[in-house]
Structure 1
Amino acid sequence: MNPTTVNIKKAAHLLDMTERHVCRLCISGELIGAFKHGRSWHIPISAHPKLSGVKSPDDLSAELDMLDIPANKREAGLKRLGLIREFEDYAARMVQGGKNRTESKQLFCSSHKIGVRSLSRWLTRYRDQGLIGLVDTRGGCAFISQMISPEAFETFKAMYLTPQQLTIKTCWQNISFINTDQLKGWTIPTYATMVRHVSRQIPLTASVLHREGLAAYEAKCAPYIESDPDSVQPGQIWIGDHHQYNCFIRHRGKWIRPWITGWEDMRSRMVTGWYITASPNQTTILQAMRRGIEKLGPPDSVKIDNGKDYDSQMWTGTTKQRRRALKAGYIDERAVAGIYAMMDIGISFSRPYHPQSKAIERLFDTMDVQFIKTIETYTGKGTDRKPEDLAAALQEWGVNLVFFHLD
C-alpha cells in the first residue's frame, strides 16, 4: 500500500528543503494536517503535491478549463479539494489531542454529512492523481482521453503491447510507481478509468498483433471474404479436410485417437464422402473421394487444405513451392496433371491456419459436441479439459476390450 504520511527527512528530500525549514512549516501549520507523534512529525502526503508525485492543485486547476470539463463537475471537484484540506487540518488537531486518524475521519464525516468511504476514496484519488482525480468522470465525458499524460500513456503502451502480455493492471501499477518514485508529475487515472481508456484508444487489431503475434492477427482480425453457399449449386463444390477425434479407441493392441478424412458439399452441407483411419494420408483422401464420387458423381471443383497430403504433387500436379510462387489461390486446369485434372475437377486452396476458409471445420465441431462427448474415452479438446481418471480407465478397459482394426 502507498503510505499516507512521510517523515521530516523524506519530506525535506521531496520538497527540496532543509529539515529545519520543514519543521518550521509543520509548526506554523503551512503543511496542512502535519501532526507530531512522540518526537516525530508525520506529514500527510496530501499536504503538498510534491509529496505524492503529482502536479500542484493550482496548476491542475488552471488545466481544468482546457479539458472541456462541465462547469458543475469542475466546481464539485474544487469543493471536494476544500473538504480534503479541511479534514487534514481537523485530523491533525484530533491526533494531537489523543484521537487516531480513523476516529477523526468518522467524526469529520458525521459533522459534514458525507460518507466515510467517499472521503477515503477522495483522499486516495487526490494522493494518486491530484485535483483531476476529484472530478466525477461518469457519463462518458469527452475529457476522459485527456486524463492521462501523453508520456505516461506511451510508457504504458511500451509495457502493454509486448509478447509478454502483461495485464492492464500490472502496467497501470508500474507507471503509477514510476510516477511516484521518479516524481514525473504525470496525471494517471484510476484503474477502472484506465481499462476504459485502453479499450477506446488501443485498437483490437494493434493489441492482437503486438501481444499475440502475426498468426493470431491473421486468424482473428485480418479481412477475409465470406463464402456464399447460395451462390453455388448442390454438388458443384466440395470442401475437404482431416480431423482427429477427441476420443480413444483400441486399435491393434494400442489406444489411439482416430482420424476422419471428410468431404462436404458447400451448398447443402451434406457429407459426400468420409474415411476413418489411424493416420491420414494421400490414400485416405483417395478413399473418401472415391466413396463420394461412387455415390454422387464428381464435383465441378474442390476446396482443399494446404496440408502436405491434400496439396501434394500426386493430387495437384505441381509442388507447393511452385504453386506458392505463382501467387494464385486457384490453379488453372491446364497446368494441373494430377488426379483432380484427370477427373476434370478444378482446385482452390484454403489459407493456412485460417478456419474461416474451411466451412467443414464447423461440421467437425458439431460431431465433437453432439457425439464424441458421449463416448466414455472422450479426451476433451485440450489438456485442461482431459478427465483426471482417463489414463487409469484406459489401462483397465484395455484388458477386457476387443481389438478393432480400421483397415
Structure 2
Amino acid sequence: MTYLTVKEVADLKGCSPQYIKKIILDGSLLSKVSVNKNNRKKYLIPIEELTEQEQLKYYKSHAIDIPENLLANKKEKTQRPHKEFDEFTAEQREEIAEWIRILNAWDEYCATSKLQKVPATEKFVQLQKVANPDLNISKGILYRKKAALKADDLAGLLDNRGSWKKGTSSIPEEAWQCFLSFYLDEAQHPIQACYEYTEMWIKREAPQLLPLPAYASFYRKVQTAIPKPVEIMGREGMKAFRDRCAPYIRRTYEGMASNEWWIADNHTFDVQTKGESGSIHRLYLTAFFDARSGIFTGCYVTDAPSSQATLIALRKGIAKYGIPENIYVDNGREFLTFDVGGLGHRLKKSQKAKFAPPPVFERLGIKMTNAIVRNAKAKIIERRFRDVKDRLSRLFPTYTGGNVVERPERLKKVIKDNDNIPTDYEFTQAVEDILTYYMNEKPYSGAVNADSGKTRMQVYREQLKEKRVASELDLNLMLMRSTKSQKVGRRGVHLTIAGEKIDYYNDELILNYFGKEMYCRYDPEDISTVRVYDLNDNYIMTVPVDNEAVLTYGSSKDAVGQALRKVRSLEKLTKQELKASQITALGKKTALEIVLAAAEENKAKAEEINPKVISVHRADETAEQLPVAVGQNNIVKIDKAKMIRNLEERQREE
C-alpha cells in the first residue's frame, strides 16, 4: 500500500498542510501514525483515502504506472444513473431547485446585459457572491451545472464535496466496539468518560491501535452511527425501549361501538373540600369512560378509592347507559379483587386450585382486560382526567393545582377564611352535574374524523348498536359482593367487617349444611341478611344476621365497620386513660407495696394492749363430739382468780 505525507496530500488537494493535519485529528481523514527520529508524530495517509482524480494526478506526477482498477474505473465511467426529482431528499430537492433558479437568472442576465457573455458571466458570479456569501459559485461551476441540467442530470446540480467519505470512520472497529460496551450501559456514562475508559483498555489489551482518533471522532459517530432504539435500550433499559420505541397495537375506533369498551380509573381532585366533621381534605373520583364516544358513563366521588367505590360507579353507569361488553382497567386492588374483577395476574399458583366465587364482572357478562404493568401507553383515560382538572377542578376557589408550582396564591387565604370551602356534599353534586350535563355534551375530540363537529353524547347515541340491560332485581343480585368459601359452623356463616365477625344463622342452615363448604353473597348497603351458595354456585337460602351489632349500628357494611372501629378506638382510649391514671396515682409502686408500707407505718405506731380480764369460753360439745373445723378458733375467756383458786386446791390435795 502506498502512503503519502501530509505535505504531499496538501499539494494534491491544493490546501495547506495545517488543514490536512486538522482533518486527520478530527477523524475526517484516515491516517497511520508513526514516530520519526526526533520522537515526533508523523502522519502517513493511504493513497486510497484520496479521490480518483487525486490518485491519478499523483501517479502521473511521479511517473508511476496507474493501477488497473483506476484505469478500469476511468474507462467504464459513464453518466450517473438517472434519478427522478422525487427520488432525492427534501434537502437535495431544495438545492436542485436553487441551482435551477440561479442558472435561469444567469441566462436572463446575459441576455439583457450589454456585455459579452464571458464578462457578463464573470459579473454575474461577482453579484451572486455578494448576494449569497455562503454559495460556492464560480464561472467553471456555472458551466458544469448548466451542462448537467441540459443532460437532465439532476444529481450533477448537487454539491457532492465530502460525499466520498460519508459512512467512513477513522475509528478502528475493535476500539469502537470497546467504546460501545461502556456507552451502551444503564449507568449512562458520559461520552468523554467512555472515551477515556476505551483508551485505558486499548493501552492494556491492544496497544497497536494507539493513538486513538480524537474524542471529536467518537462524539460524531455516537450522534450518527448508533440507532436510537439501541441507544435507549442500552442506556435506559427495556421498559424505556418498550414505552418509547417498541411497536404497539394502534387502537382503532372506527369500527368500535358505544358500550363496547369502558375504561375505568381513579383520579384525585385538585380541590380541597370540607367534611361533616369540619376536616379539610381532597376527594377522589372513580370513573368509567366510554372509549368510542368519550363520555363519562359511571362516576362516584369517594374519600378513598376501593372496590366498593368501583361497584357503585359501575352500577350508576349500568343504570343509565347499560352493561358494557369489555372493561379496561389498570392493576389496582380496587379492580383486581377476587369478587369484583378477579385477581388477574395477582392470582398465586397456590390459589389456582382453590374455589373462587364468580366475580361481579363475570356475573354481568363483562370481559375484563388489564393494562400491562407499568406500561406508559395504558393510561388513555388520563387525557379525560386532564379535562376534569382544567374544566372542573379549576372552577372551585379551593383549587390546589397539581403541584407546588401550580398552587394559587389565594389558596391560603381561602382556607383561612373557611367560608368559601365547598362541603363534600356540595362538591359531589357539582361534580355529577358537570360531568353528566356539561363535559359529556362537549364537542367530540376523538380519533374518528367523521365524527368531528358532533357532541360526545351525539356520537354515543349514534354508535350505540346494542344496549344490554338487566332488571333491578337481577342487577342487585349480579352486583352483590362475595365472600371466600367457608365451612358452615355452629354459628352458621359469617362476614368479617372491620376485623370483627358478623354471624348469620338459622336452624335450617345448621341442620342441613353443617360442616359443608359454602360462600355468601351480600349487599354492602344492607348486611342484615346474606345469600348462601354452594361451590357449584347454586343458591341455597337467605340467612338473617345473628348479631346485635348490625341492628345497633345500622344495616350498612360501612356504617357497621365505622361503628366497630369507633368502639375499638374508645376501648383503646379508655385503656390508655386508665393506665395513665394508675401511673399518676401510684407512680412506679404497686398497690401491694403501698399497703405494706402503710402497714409498716401503723406497726410502728401501735401500742401494747393490757386488758384487765382474760376469759375463756367453751361450747357445751367436747372436742371429740364436735371436731373443730379447719381454720376455726376456740373462743375462750380467761378468769385469773378462778385459775388461782384451782391451783391452790390441787396443792392442798397433794
Task: Please state which band the TM-score falls in when normalised by the shorter chain.
Answer: 0.5 to 0.7
For the residues of structure 1 that align with 2:318 and 2:42, how far apart are their CA atoms? 80
Q: CA deviation at 1:364?
A: 2.3
Partner of 1:241: 265
Equivalent of 1:209 in 233, 239, 250: 233
Q: CA deviation at 1:238?
A: 0.8
Equivalent of 2:311 in 286, 290, 295: 286
**TM-score under structure 2 length normalisation:** 0.37
Equivalent of 2:249 in 192, 211, 225: 225
Partner of 1:387: 405
Gaps of 5+ in 1: 1-31, 34-47, 76-136, 327-334
Q: 1:387 aligns to what SS in structure 2? A: coil
Q: CA deviation at 1:338?
A: 0.8
Q: CA deviation at 1:155?
A: 3.4
1:299–1:73 Cα change, 3 Å: farther
For the residues of structure 1 that align with 2:55 and 2:319, how far apart are their CA atoms? 79
Which of 266-275 and 360-369 deviates more? 360-369
1:149–1:186: 8 Å Cα contact kept in structure 2? no
1:318–1:345 Cα change, 3 Å: same
1:147–1:74 Cα change, 3 Å: farther
Partner of 2:416: 399
Equivalent of 2:191 in 141, 165, 168: 168
Q: 1:7-406 to 2 correspondence within 5 Å?
A: 56-58=42-44, 61-62=45-46, 65=48, 70=51, 143-172=166-195, 185-188=210-213, 191=216, 194-245=218-269, 247-252=270-275, 256-318=281-343, 320-322=345-347, 337-368=358-389, 372=393, 386-387=404-405, 390=407, 394-401=411-418, 402=421, 404-405=423-424
For the residues of structure 2 that align with 1:368 and 1:303, how far apart are their CA atoms? 22
2:172–2:209: 8 Å Cα contact kept in structure 1? no
Residues 65-113 of structure 1: per-residue CA shift (max 9 Å, x gap): 2x6x6457999xxxxxxxxxxxxxxxxxxxxxxxxxxxxxxxxxxxxxx
Q: CA deviation at 1:400?
A: 1.2
Residues 113-169 of structure 1: per-residue CA shift (max 9 Å, x gap): xxxxxxxxxxxxxxxxxxxxxxxx986655444232223323332332222323335
Residues 300-333 of structure 1: per-residue CA shift (max 9 Å, x gap): 221121222112112124453338999xxxxxxx
For the residues of structure 2 that align with 1:376 and 1:72, how far apart are their CA atoms? 78
For the residues of structure 1 that align with 2:334 and 2:54, how far apart are their CA atoms? 67
2:290–2:296: 8 Å Cα contact kept in structure 1? yes
Partner of 2:476: none
Q: CA deviation at 1:284?
A: 1.9
Q: 1:316 aligns to what SS in structure 2? A: coil
Gaps of 5+ in 2: 1-16, 19-32, 57-159, 429-654
Indicate the structure whose relative CO is greater, using CA pairs within 8 Å and at least 6 residues apart. 1
2:398–2:414: 8 Å Cα contact kept in structure 1? no
For the residues of structure 1 that align with 2:41 and 2:350, how far apart are their CA atoms? 60
Residues 233-287 of structure 1: per-residue CA shift (max 9 Å, x gap): 1122111112334x34134455544432221112112221222333211122112
Partner of 2:570: none
1:304–1:198 Cα change, 3 Å: same
For the residues of structure 1 that align with 2:182 and 2:343, how far apart are their CA atoms? 46
1:194–1:374 Cα change, 3 Å: farther
Q: CA deviation at 1:360?
A: 1.6
2:401–2:408: 8 Å Cα contact kept in structure 1? no
- How much is the aligned-residue C-alpha RMSD, in angstroms? 4.5
Q: State which structure, 1 or 2, has the greater radius of gyration over its C-alpha atoms.
A: 2
For the residues of structure 2 that align with 1:190 and 1:262, how far apart are their CA atoms? 55
Residues 169-189 of structure 1: per-residue CA shift (max 9 Å, x gap): 554466578889989524435
Q: How many residues align structurally?
A: 284
Q: 2:340 aligns to what SS in structure 1? A: helix
For the residues of structure 2 that align with 1:166 and 1:250, how far apart are their CA atoms? 48
**TM-score under structure 1 length normalisation:** 0.56
For the residues of structure 2 that align with 1:243 and 1:216, how far apart are their CA atoms? 25
Q: 2:230 aligns to what SS in structure 1? A: helix
1:378–1:266 Cα change, 3 Å: same
Opposite residue 159 of structure 1, the aligned amino acid is F
1:376–1:158 Cα change, 3 Å: farther
Opposite residue 228 of structure 2, the aligned amino acid is L
For the residues of structure 2 that align with 1:232 and 1:336, how far apart are their CA atoms? 31
1:323–1:206 Cα change, 3 Å: farther
1:264–1:271: 8 Å Cα contact kept in structure 2? yes
2:340–2:360: 8 Å Cα contact kept in structure 1? yes
Residues 36-74 of structure 1: per-residue CA shift (max 9 Å, x gap): xxxxxxxxxxxx9669x997411xx02x62x6x645799
For the residues of structure 2 that align with 1:187 and 1:144, how far apart are their CA atoms? 19
For the residues of structure 2 that align with 1:167 and 1:74, how far apart are their CA atoms? 40
1:221–1:54 Cα change, 3 Å: farther
Partner of 2:462: none
Q: CA deviation at 1:290?
A: 1.8
Q: CA deviation at 1:212?
A: 1.9
Q: CA deviation at 1:296?
A: 0.8
1:267–1:392 Cα change, 3 Å: closer
For the residues of structure 2 that align with 1:356 and 1:324, how far apart are their CA atoms? 29
